[in-house]
């Protein structure tokens, strides 16, 4: 197993292999894994071929989402979690999901490989994944990438968000357990933004707790959790103080992740939520198909008169767009 | 004019006014402005009513996008730019666009109002705008909000991105001139991410230049601009060193923004690009209409068998989504 250094390139002299052959060589071939992930990231027909080839495989990987504000120490904490899971004999893959730019691609990868202690360990795989295109970027690629890593024999897949964005909520839609990383003092500002993280957190890490203030932050989080209206089904998110740089609190953190996993399994929630996520994925992909088909129907052809009206300030964009939608979906009730 | 403190609430005893009445009271009524922006932000039928009521109004506002990496000093620079424009007798509105969370809403507003020096100046209006929902969030609301501010008599509308995200590219799609804020040393890492900012920049500010390294960053930017493949139509983005905290370089920066404006006008580009942006807005709104109509057509009804197949791992999500899209848009060519 390589460490994400493979970008799907073919070594000189080897012949190209089909998607089916690549999938058949999992687990075991790092080159095949790298290429399959590249296909998934690129999207399009070959990505769907990967999806078809993976049917009936895997199902063993547990997905842990790691999210939180920028600067909270997510990367360092992820590295520590990887180390602790490896020490427990697990095979661990990390997908670092970067919403910051459609242009990042593999750019951050080098940084991460340098940063991570596990770069010579073949039970660890790290990959940066850019979320190209806002609609369905992560939705389309991340669950499929998780299935590839699952088929490649990783029993833990960590989904770490890099930077910040709406992606943090999308990550929760992919993960079995969502770990939210905060820092002491986090409670002091931007009340509303916290609501989103509060609602998706299954476990909290108060990281950099060695700097003090961890106790107050725990109390504040506990108070906020009491006020939240979300249906948790009875799970109270535990709050663990960690210091990723010192490596403290990591075992306790993983014990709480495991407790959440056990709780999910005992309630039948793990199965139910995975099923719900899978169907949500279908619903999101449905909108991608609809958008593609709508463009293919070329409703903009012959709309020169409408365009002139919009440019002249006689028709507002929303109404013009509605007229165009009407052309291809006339049977539907008006939008809104 | 208030400073964004109005959230569209009605003072006790005043009767509700229609959208047409609110629009008619622009410019002049800060309360009307606040309510109209709230309607636009909320979307839906009332937002479109605002759009219709604004037809034929405005057309005088120049929009300046201000974007760049987090920590680059965008907020402080924006404050300085507002001050310089005010000193020149302009009326200035700032839309601070926050992609970091669908939950931010007005939360950052208080911070900004405290931060900005202009909070008692009625030629300045500041408003935070959350971009709810990835597809069409900013696309749907920001151009409409700019039209409201235009009709309210602001001759400059600054669109400042808060945080980071794909939003930086969307801002360029709304602005007449896009100002990209970088810092000395910015060129040292994440090569690929820079490409996006390079392509949208009309003017660069190398901010925090008082810390040194400005000269090298200018040279590096100049080299990268030479390599870029984008069609600029002959405009070479100027690079200005600024120190927002000290207030230096701001006049030069605004002179370059004005030079870009003059260049656009002389080439007929200002008119042409505004027309293109308006039609792009129609195309994006078209997809929102299509998505709404597609959901309204309820293709998920009666798909229990398909759902079972997906959950059983017999059909992959992409193919299931395609079958559902086929139900409502059968005539279209297959997606991809």
3-state secondary structure of A285: helix
Question: Contact at 8 Å (CB) between A167 and A138?
Answer: yes
How large a percentage of chain B has pLDDT more than 70? 75
Binned at pLDDT 50, 70 and 90, residue A1 comes out as: very low
* Pairwise CB contact (< 8 Å): B108 & A292: no
pLDDT reading at A77 higher than 80 = yes
Rounded Cα distance between A110 and B121, Å, is 49
* Pairwise CB contact (< 8 Å): A164 & B163: yes
Residues paired with residue B128 on neighbouring β-strands, in sequence order: B96
Binned at pLDDT 50, 70 and 90, residue A232 comes out as: low
A46 neighbourhood in chain B, CB within 8 Å: none
| Least confident interval from B63-77, B122-136, B152-166, B222-236 | B122-136
Pick among A101, A141, A296 to test the B interface (most B CBs inside 10 A): A101
| Least confident interval from A174-178, A285-289, B160-164 | B160-164
φ and ψ of B118, to 5 deg: -100, 20
* Pairwise CB contact (< 8 Å): A190 & B107: yes
Binned at pLDDT 50, 70 and 90, residue A209 comes out as: confident
Q: What is the pLDDT of residue B118?
A: 54
Chain A: residue nearest B299 by CA?
Answer: A286
pLDDT reading at A114 higher than 60 = no
Handedness of CA B152, B155, B161, B162 (dihedral sign): negative
Binned at pLDDT 50, 70 and 90, residue A332 comes out as: low
CA B112 to the chain's CA centroid: 17
Q: What is the pLDDT of residue A62?
A: 96
Question: Contact at 8 Å (CB) between A225 and A252?
Answer: no
Rounded Cα distance between A96 and A101, Å, is 13
Helical residues (DSSP H) of chain B, grouped into ranges: 19-24, 30-42, 45-54, 74-87, 107-115, 137-151, 167-172, 191-200, 214-227, 250-266, 269-296, 304-311, 317-328
pLDDT reading at A36 higher than 50 = yes
Cβ-Cβ pairs closer than 8 A, A with B, add up to 244
Q: Closest to B70 (Cβ–Cβ): which among A47, A51, A70?
A: A70
Rounded Cα distance between B186 and B184, Å, is 5
pLDDT reading at B65 higher than 50 = yes
Q: Is B314 on the interface with A (CB under 8 A)?
A: yes
Quick one: average pLDDT of A183-189?
66
Question: Contact at 8 Å (CB) between A218 and A185?
Answer: no
Binned at pLDDT 50, 70 and 90, residue A260 comes out as: very high
Task: Tell me which range, A160-164, A180-184, A251-255, A287-291, is most confidently predicted by mean pLDDT.
Answer: A251-255
Task: Tell me which range, B98-102, B192-196, B323-327, is most confidently predicted by mean pLDDT.
Answer: B323-327
Report ipTM (2 d.p.). Answer: 0.76
Q: What is the distance between the terminal CA atoms of chain A, rounded to a whole angstrom?
A: 50
Q: List pLDDT tens digits, range B10-20.
A: 444 456 689 99
Across all residues in chain A, what is the average pLDDT?
79
Quick one: average pLDDT of B76-89?
92
Query: Where is pLDDT greater, at A78 or A113?
Result: A78
Q: Residue B196 class from Cβ within 10 Å (0-12 exposed, 13-18 middle, 19+ buried)?
A: buried
Question: Contact at 8 Å (CB) between A22 and A32?
Answer: yes
Pick among B52, B280, B290, B329 to test the A interface (most A CBs inside 10 A): B290
Query: Where is pLDDT greater, at A98 or A107?
Result: A98
Across all residues in chain B, what is the average pLDDT?
79
Q: Is B18 on the interface with A (CB under 8 A)?
A: no
B324 closest CA partner among B309, A37, A161, B128: B309
Q: What is the pLDDT of residue B292?
A: 86
Handedness of CA B307, B323, B299, B45 (dihedral sign): positive
Q: List pLDDT tens digits, range A292-310.
A: 888 888 778 888 999 999 9
Quick one: average pLDDT of B60-82?
88
Q: What is the pLDDT of residue A115?
A: 46
Write the DSSP string, B166-229. THHHHHHTT-SEEEEEE-TTGGGS-HHHHHHHHHH-SEEEETTGGGS-HHHHHHHHHHHHHH--
Pick among B133, B148, B166 to test the A interface (most A CBs inside 10 A): B166
What tokens does B2 get? 């208030």
Chain A: residue nearest B166 by CA?
Answer: A101
Q: Is B44 on the interface with A (CB under 8 A)?
A: yes
Chain B: residue nearest A131 by CA?
Answer: B166
| Least confident interval from A63-77, A257-271, B49-63, B134-148 | B134-148
Q: What is the pLDDT of residue B63?
A: 95
Q: What is the pLDDT of residue B182?
A: 87
Q: List pLDDT tens digits, range A45-58.
A: 888 899 999 998 88
* Pairwise CB contact (< 8 Å): A296 & B332: yes
Rounded Cα distance between A225 and B313, Å, is 36
Q: What is the pLDDT of residue B110?
A: 42
Rounded Cα distance between A150 and A145, Å, is 8
Rounded Cα distance between B224 and A61, Å, is 43
A268 closest CA partner among A229, A230, A233: A233
pLDDT reading at A130 higher than 80 = no
What tokens does A186 get? 């986090």
Query: How near does any CA of chain A get to the CA of B187, in Å?
Result: 13
Strand stretches in A137-242, DSSP E: 156-161, 177-182, 203-206, 239-241
* Pairwise CB contact (< 8 Å): A196 & B101: yes
Rounded Cα distance between B265 and B259, Å, is 10
Rounded Cα distance between B224 and B218, Å, is 10
Q: Closest to A310 (Cβ–Cβ): which among B279, B300, B325?
A: B279
pTM: 0.71
Binned at pLDDT 50, 70 and 90, residue A111 comes out as: very low
Quick one: average pLDDT of B150-179?
81
Pick among B40, B134, B283 to test the A interface (most A CBs inside 10 A): B134
pLDDT reading at A15 higher than 70 = no
* Pairwise CB contact (< 8 Å): B193 & A107: yes
Binned at pLDDT 50, 70 and 90, residue A7 comes out as: very low
């Amino acid at each position: 197993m390589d460490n994400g250094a493979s970008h799907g390139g073919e070594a000189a002299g080897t012949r190209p292999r089909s998607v089916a052959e690549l999938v058949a060589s999992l687990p075991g071939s790092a080159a095949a894994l790298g290429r399959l992930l590249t296909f998934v990231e690129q999207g399009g027909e070959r990505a769907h071929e990967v999806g078809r080839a993976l049917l009936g495989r895997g199902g063993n990987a547990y997905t842990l989402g790691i999210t939180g504000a920028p600067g909270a120490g997510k990367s360092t904490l992820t590295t520590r979690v990887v180390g602790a899971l490896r020490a427990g004999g697990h095979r661990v893959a990390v997908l670092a999901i970067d919403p910051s730019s459609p242009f990042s691609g593999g750019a951050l990868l080098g940084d991460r490989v340098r940063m991570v202690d596990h770069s010579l360990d073949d039970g660890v795989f790290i990959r940066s994944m850019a979320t190209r295109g806002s609609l369905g970027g992560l939705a389309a690629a991340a669950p499929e990438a998780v299935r590839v890593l699952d088929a490649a024999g990783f029993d833990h897949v960590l989904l770490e968000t890099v930077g910040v964005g709406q992606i943090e909520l999308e990550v929760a839609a992919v993960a079995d357990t969502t770990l939210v990383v905060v820092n002491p003092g986090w409670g002091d500002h931007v009340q509303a933004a916290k609501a989103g993280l509060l609602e998706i957190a299954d476990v909290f890490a108060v990281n950099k707790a060695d700097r003090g203030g961890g106790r107050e932050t725990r109390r504040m989080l506990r108070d906020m959790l009491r006020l939240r209206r979300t249906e948790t089904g009875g799970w109270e998110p535990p709050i663990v103080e960690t210091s990723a740089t010192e490596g403290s609190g990591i075992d306790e953190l993983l014990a709480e992740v495991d407790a959440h996993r056990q709780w999910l399994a005992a309630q039948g929630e793990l199965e139910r939520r995975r099923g719900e996520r899978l169907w949500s994925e279908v619903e999101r992909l449905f909108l991608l198909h609809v958008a593609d088909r709508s463009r293919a129907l070329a409703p903009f052809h012959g709309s020169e008169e409408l365009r002139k009206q919009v440019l002249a300030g006689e028709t507002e964009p929303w109404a013009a767009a509605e007229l165009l939608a009407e052309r291809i979906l006339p049977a539907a009730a008006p939008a809104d």
